Structure 1
Amino acid sequence: MSRRSGGLIGVWAEQQRVAQRQREGQHQAVLRQQRDEERVQRAYERDVARMQREQRAAYRQQRDADALRRTQELDARVAALEGLLAAGCRAPAFSVASLRRTEDVEAFAPGPLAEPVPMPDQRFYQPQGGAWTASGRAQAERDARARFERDWYAAQAAEARRVEQLAAYRREYETWAAARLAEIRSHNAGIAGTEAALRAGEAATVVEFFSAVLFASTAWPEGFPREVSAAYERGGRGLVLDWDLPGYEVVPEARGVKYLPSTDQEKEVPRPVTQRRALYRDVLAQSVLLAARELFVADRFGALEQVALNGYVDGVDPATGLPARVCLASVVVGREAFERLNLEFVGAVECLTGALDGRLSAKPDERVAVPPMVTPDQVGSDVVVQGDGEEPDLLAMDPIAFEGLVAELFRARGLQALTTRRSNDGGVDVEALDPDPISGGSILVQVKRYRNTVPPSAVRDLYGTVQGAGANKGVLVTTSKFGPGSYTFANGKPLTLISGTELVDLLHQHGLRGRLGSGSPAAPAAAAAVPAPAEADADFNLLGMDWSGAAALDVCALVCSGNRVLGDEWFVFFNNPSTPDGSVSMVAAPAGDRAAVRVGFDALPDRADRLVLVAAVDPEVNPDADLGGFTDAGIRLRDDSGVELDRLVVSDGRPGETALVLGSFRRRSGGDWDFVLGGKGYRGGLEELVGDFGIQVG
């Protein structure tokens, strides 16, 4: 007889079976999860591998595209060189007529002054309030009438002021318009004089005009030199020129660029030497023919019957091993023979050496010279040679030649520079390009042949032109000088101001000629900056300034009568380091100070009763800084030997402000000077601050 299992043992056994099934299920779930994760991982790895392949393919395509782009750029450069003469023949010819200005004067535009002041309408002046009595209603009517009369008289007064201001503005406009029209007519009269001089064969005018023709031509590619010296033989109406030709490097050494995936590098494919030499020789021939074409086409006055042109390059003379200008091409051609040529279809080398019987170096890449057929100094003693003899007076120089000289200065400094055409140039006289990939860019240059100080409005107008054209920088060159208002406006902006003395100094530094006026050549700017001596017996003090904070600051001084500076030249700052009499000057800061001003209080003019010291953030060094960190500031008052006499505490700066009046020394009735703490801050920087003291900025 059997017995059924039961009790605790049976329950336990059943629990074990259930637990086993659960463990098996959990194990299976873990296995399934692992398989799922493995599938996801494998899919991810496949995606990553595919993405990497695609990225590698895209990277290679990008590198191949970059190599192709560089190759295309090389091909384009070569194509431009091969078609230099044909393209130049299609360029418009230089014309004196293009220098003429139309007698267009901006119309009178009074703006809001043209609108009469609206008069009040009595219908809108009704009694106010709900008076019940007759006297109350009468009072309300009187009040309404009084309001109307008050507003009517105010409007009448405003209208009278408007009419007066409009008349004054019209008088100013008419004065300006008359001056503008006179300037245009004077300019056009000068152009007419130039035409007459060209027809008469005046040597100086002929040389300057045809030099300007080559300078201003749009036919030359960027990077080609544009330097010329010329002479004119009036009897035979022959122009002889030495013209700079491009160097061997103008022809790209590489034929193309390839990307090598194995090394992940680009490799330049060299251009065959024979091909490069042949192309360079052809470019030289094209350049000579094109220069001759530019001269003959621009001659509409019968000034040229013959042109002799010698092409030079700078380099090492292989005969001596010394730096020299080497003549690589020379030709003498008459107008009649030249006009028979169809330059767009000639072979340049064959035309130059065959049809024109000119000379061309057989190995110009090695600078093997040819003898010039005739040189400027061989055409006669009465010939004017540009750049010979006495230095030219910049104030008396022909405007075209002066602009050409400024362009030549920029080229001498390593920039590419062209004079602009005279129509629709926006007031820009020279366009320059700085090839530096970091600090370079497009530069617009205006040239002002003034004798008086250039007004700040000219600087403001240049800034507007730079912004409108999207240029990187503007340069204003003058034969005179700039006032503090101009320098203050230009501070922190992409503008450079070059005064007459600075211009002469730059010309001399780069081997160019120029002087100001009929006297001896002007001294360099550094010498011109030395102030005239103050009174010999005047005692001087040194004002040394120190402060905490990292912002770069400009410390300036204003010699004032009350709250007005005596004049632009009495504003002492970075571009005007001294007053005319030398009584106040910027000097090197002694140890422990960050700026210093030297002052002879007894030497200040009698009309000066105040010396104001100011500080402003240098916007070029710290364009985003303010005076929030300008703290612990003070002025150390020293005698001229450097012994400290006192320390004057000045106010701290405030966030958001970029200029601050530190304080002022004021003359008292007995002749002594006291220091008065400043503290007025300006958010508009030095420009706003000096405007408060009467200096015109912009």
Structure 2
Amino acid sequence: MSRRSAGLVGVWAETQRQQQRQMEAEARQRREEARQVRAYQRLAAQGHREFRQAEARRRTEEIEAQVVSLQGLLVAGCQTPVFRASSLMRPEEIAPFDPGPLAWPVRMPDQSQYQAQGGWTASRRAQAQAEARAHFERDWHAAQAAEAQRQQQLAAAQRDYERDAEAQRSEIRRHNAGIVEVTAGVRRGEPDSVIEYFSAALYSSTAWPEGFPRQVAAAFDPAARQLVLDWEMPTYDVVPEAKSVRYVPSQDQDKVTARPVTQRRALYREVLAQSMLLVLRQLFAADEYGILDSVALNGFVDAPDPATGRPSHIFLATVMAGRSGFTELHLEQVDPVSCLTDALRGQLATRPDQLSSVRPSRQPRDVGNHVVTHGGNEEPDLYDMDPIAFESLVAELFRAMGMQAVTTERSNDGGVDVDAMDPTPIRGGKIVVQVKRYRATVPPTAVRDLYGTVQDRGANKGVLVTTSAFGPGSHTFARGKPLELISGSELVDLLHRHGLRGRLGEGRRAAPTQTASSGPVTPPDDYNVLGMMWSGNVALDVCALVCRGSRVLSEEHFVFFNNPQTPDGSVRAVPAQAPDKAAIRVSFDALPQEADRFVLVAAVDPEVNPDADLSGFTEACIRLLDPARAELGRLDVSDGRCGETALVLGSFRHRPNGDWDFVLGGKGYPRGLEQLLQDYGIEVE
């Protein structure tokens, strides 16, 4: 009995000890987990603190590096290479011809690989041999054809390469010839050449830090052999407002120590003085032809005038330096402010941070008419551009879009202004570009000429770029052809999207010319004739409405048999010539400015066919004709329907880019023209 009791107690005690050990193990695990959490939190806090401290140090180092760069602007600039016109010359290095896969001849089949298969009898062996021979001959002829095609493609690619390479060489030669011409003009002391040359010297310099402005207005006085410039300076923001950054752990935030105002102002004056000296150094060093005796330099910033609030040039520094005195200076060792104000007797604003200005002794406008401005934010007017410069701008746009593009020789361009190559697989290829710097609408003949050039040159696409717009005739002809028409507004949008600049100096629609007696007059060749043809014997009246939206401008802008033309003569009913049964003449550019739709309608003539409807109005189309009645294209319209006596054929709609597109109609009216006109705001009595 006692042994059994001891056994039960032992079992109970062992169970209790196991439970105790388990509880202790779980407690140890919880303590370990808590310890790990605390350790992780300490590491995380330490890591966060170290990261924030490192970030604060990095920001401080960046600020200090920026200050060091500003303080050493002049010394670093004096170590940059001196400008020479020869640095602008381009080598005639053209990438060698790369035929790609076309370089590899098609592999010809090996007859030994075409053995007869099977054949237990003589007749079957003969048949198997004949099949093997036929298989070989078929593959051999296919390989021969493929090889011939490869050689043709290779020859065509070689011709395209040689043509493109020659175009690139021609552009390089033209560029180099321009450089030679400018340098020759500099030697002769021609003001335009002198200004262009020294402006290039300033713009090509690598001495200026990123973000420094480069805007200059310049003039050259040949008699005094003096170059006069207004050069834009960096604003006060160029000097960092902060001096250092320190992380405060207790607040978990950065504390920025501000740079003392006196220190910041002093550094800004030093930057202005260094910039002035550096410009003078670059100009005199670039004068390898000895054309300059002196330079009058004015440094300005673009800012609101403190007195008027209007944007203006505020001059913060000015100096007139002679060559002999300036070249004797050791710029790497001077104090910039003292050198500018004492040695060169220039002026420097005492409080440039507050835009206190100085008075320039001489400005470019004081010299005469030879003033050229570069840089700044003004958009060049595409209408006033030199034609060659405009073509170069278009070529630059195509290059900015990822294509290869060069302008062509004007004497032998074959109607092509820019040759482009789109390297994109499948949809890419050779592109011919024509450039039309027009104010009036581009005539459809130009689009037809471009299509002929595309076919003659074997190009994949033709692009016509203009400063104006295209009429319906051009769009109708281009539809379904490898042609792309870029209007003036679309061109400006593309330039801006690809980092280039340009604007159109006039509104989107050219104004019609005026005469004293007859009002607006449309240029004689600037109109289209819309011929109407259809099958069936039903007699119809074809009418036109000049609208804004779905409302006609006035009753006088509804052209029909009792009102044959609009007040301004931009729309007229004219006699039809076979095969047309009706005709309307319209000058889209001369339509009223507020008009955005030109609607064509047809209605049964109730006097000729009082009981007819439009069920006999089938196979109808509008023929778009030029002034000589040559067909430019056809616009299909809907057939008439039983029970309807009037029908909207379609409307030409004015788009934001200045073009007019045709939109198919089709709405019918059972109560004839009266019901149709009511929809357009005309009350018929």
TM-score by length of 1: 0.59
Which of 248, 271, 278 is 2:266 aligned to?
278
What does residue 386 of structure 2 align with?
A: 396
Does the CA contact (< 8 Å) of 1:240 and 1:375 recur in 2?
yes
1:233 paired residue number: 221
Separation in 1, partners of 2:398, 2:270:
32
Displacement after TM superposition at 1:394 (Å): 5.5
1:373 equivalent in alignment to 2:361: yes
> What does residue range 663-674 of structure 1 map to in structure 2 within 5 Å?
none
**In structure 2, what is the equivalent of residue 326 of structure 1?**
314
CA distance in 1, matches of 2:115, 2:493: 76
Number of the residue aligned with 2:568: none
Tell me if structure 2 keeps the 8 A contact 1:453–1:480.
Answer: no
* Contact 2:391/2:407 (8 A) holds in 1: no
Is the contact made by 1:67 and 1:259 (CA closer than 8 Å) also made in structure 2? yes
- Residues 168 and 406 of structure 2 are in contact (CA less than 8 Å); yes or no, is this contact kept in structure 1? no
For the residues of structure 2 that align with 1:182 and 1:541, how far apart are their CA atoms?
Answer: 50
The corresponding residue for 2:592 is none
Matches within 5 A, 1:571-650: 602=622, 604=624, 608=633, 639=648
Q: Alignment partner for residue 383 of structure 1, among 370, 375, 396?
A: 370
Question: 5 Å matches for 1:78-117?
Answer: 78-117=67-106
SS in 2 for 1:457: strand
After superposition, the C-alpha distances for 1:293-325 in whole angstroms (9 at most, x for unaligned) are 222222223332211110112334445565432
Asked if 1:174 is matched to 2:162, the reply is yes
- For the residues of structure 1 that align with 2:80 and 2:406, how far apart are their CA atoms? 29
Secondary structure class of the residue paired with 2:203? helix
Distance 1:252 1:32, change over 3 A: same
Match of 2:55 in 1: 66
Q: Is the 8 A contact 1:330 1:360 kept in 2?
A: yes
Offset of 1:63 from its aligned partner?
A: 0.6
How far apart are residue 264 of structure 1 and its match? 0.9
Structure 1's 123 and 255: CA in aligned 2 closer, same or farther, altered over 3 A? Answer: same
**How far apart are the structure 1 equivalents of 2:65 and 2:249?**
26
Alpha-carbon distance in 2 for matches of 1:348, 1:386: 27
Cα 1:598/1:304, change in 2 over 3 Å? farther
CA distance in 2, matches of 1:326, 1:218: 26
Shift of 1:292: 1.5
Residues 202/363 of structure 1: CA separation in 2 closer, same or farther (3 Å cut) = same
Which of 174, 179, 196 is equivalent to 1:186?
174
Give the counterpart letter for 2:189 in structure 1.
G
Q: Once the two structures are superposed, what CA deviation does each residue of 1:149-191 show, in whole Å capped at 9, x if it has no partner? A: 4444444444444444444443333333333322322222222
Amino acid at match of 1:46: R
SS in 2 for 1:45: helix
The residue aligned with 1:523 is 506
Match of 1:687 in 2: none
Q: Would you say the 8 A contact 1:118–1:155 is kept in 2? A: yes
| Partners of 1:110 and 1:402 in 2: CA distance | 29
Q: Secondary structure at the match of 1:602?
A: strand
CA drift of 1:30 comes to: 3.5
Q: Pick from 224, 229, 237: which aligns with 2:212?
A: 224
Distance in 1 (CA, whole Å) between partners of 2:80 and 2:27 is 72
Q: Does residue 1:77 correspond to 2:60, yes or no?
A: no
Equivalent pair of 1:120/1:148 in contact (CA under 8 Å):
yes
CA distance in 1, matches of 2:79, 2:405: 29
CA distance in 1, matches of 2:13, 2:634: 104
Aligned CA distance change for structure 1 residues 281 and 449 (closer, same or farther; 3 Å):
farther
> Against the structure 1 CA distance between its residues 353 and 211, is the aligned structure 2 distance closer, same or farther, given a 3 Å change threshold?
same
- C-alpha distance in 1, partners of 2:273/2:68? 16
Q: Which amino acid aligns with 2:27?
A: E
Equivalent position amino acid for 1:94 in 2? F
- Aligned partners of 1:87 and 1:219 also within 8 Å: yes
SS in 1 for 2:223: coil
Q: Distance in 2 between matches of 1:162 and 1:296?
A: 59
2:421 counterpart of 1:457:
yes
| 2:41 matched residue in structure 1 | 52
1:293 to 281, 290, 298: 281
SS in 1 for 2:41: helix
TM-score, normalization: structure 2? Answer: 0.60
Q: Give the residue type in structure 2 aligned to 1:170.
A: Q
Deviation at 1:666, TM superposition (A): 13
Question: For the Cα contact (< 8 Å) 1:305–1:335, is it kept in 2?
Answer: yes
The aligned residue for residue 250 of structure 2 is 262
Task: Indicate if the aligned counterparts of 1:395 and 1:479 stay in contact, CA closer than 8 A.
Answer: no
Letter in 1 for 2:29: V
Structure 2 residue identity aligned to 1:41: R
CA shift in 2, pair 1:101/1:42, >3 Å: same
How far, CA to CA, are the matches of 2:334 and 2:93 in structure 1?
A: 44
Which one-letter code corresponds to 1:187 in the other structure?
A: H
Q: Contact 1:241 / 1:308 at 8 angstroms: preserved in 2? A: yes
SS of the counterpart of 1:129?
A: coil
Question: Is the contact made by 1:311 and 1:327 (CA closer than 8 Å) also made in structure 2?
Answer: yes
Cα deviation 1:20-79 (Å, max 9, x = unaligned): 655554444434333333333233222222221221111111110010000001011101
Give the one of 169, 183, 200 matched to 1:195: 183
Letter in 2 for 1:213: A
Q: Which stretch shifts more, 359-368 or 27-36? A: 27-36
1:244 CA displacement: 1.0
Distance in structure 2 (CA, Å) of the matches to 1:447 and 1:329: 43
Corresponding residue for residue 313 of structure 1: 301
1:344 counterpart SS class = helix
- Aligned mates of 2:502, 2:403 — CA distance in 1: 18
CA distance in 1, matches of 2:403, 2:384: 17
- 1:401 CA drift (Å): 14
Which residue is 2:332 aligned to? Answer: 344
Contact 1:448-1:479 within 8 A present in 2 as well: no
CA distance in 2, matches of 1:430, 1:155: 39
**2-side partners of 1:129 and 1:540: how far apart?**
82
Q: Distance in 1 between matches of 2:137 and 2:183?
A: 68
Q: Specify whether residues 152 and 247 from structure 1 end up closer, same or farther in structure 2 by C-alpha distance, changes over 3 A only.
A: closer
Provide closer, same or farther for how the CA distance between residues 249 and 124 of structure 1 changes in structure 2, counting only shifts above 3 A.
closer
Query: Letter of the aligned partner of 1:69 in structure 2?
Result: R
Q: How many residues align?
A: 497
Q: What is the alpha-carbon distance in structure 1 between the residues aligned to residue 193 and residue 147 of structure 2?
A: 57
Gapped runs of 5+ residues in structure 2? Answer: 409-414, 439-446, 451-460, 465-484, 513-525, 531-541, 550-585, 590-596, 602-620, 626-630, 638-646, 652-662, 667-685
Cα 1:369–1:245 change in 2 (3 A) is same
Return the offset for 1:89.
1.5
Letter of the 1:236 partner, please give it: A
Do the aligned partners of residues 158 and 131 (structure 1) sit closer, same or farther apart at CA in structure 2, a change above 3 Å counting?
Answer: same
Are the counterparts in 2 of residues 456 and 485 from structure 1 also a CA contact under 8 Å?
A: no
Structure 1 residues 366, 392: CA separation in 2 closer, same or farther (over 3 Å shift)?
Answer: same
Letter in 1 for 2:50: Q
Provide the rounded CA distance (Å) in 2 between the counterparts of 1:182 and 1:317: 49
Cα distance in structure 2, aligned partners of 1:241 and 1:18:
113
Q: Percent identity?
A: 44
Partner of 2:618 in structure 1? none
Letter aligned with residue 371 of structure 2: V
- In 1: Cα distance, 2:21 partner to 2:133 partner: 98
> What secondary structure sits across from 2:247 in the alignment?
strand
Judge conservation of contact 1:194–1:205 (CA < 8 Å) in 2.
Answer: yes
Q: CA RMSD in A?
A: 5.2
Change in CA separation of 1:171 and 1:253 when aligned onto 2, cut-off 3 Å: closer
Residue matched to 2:473: none
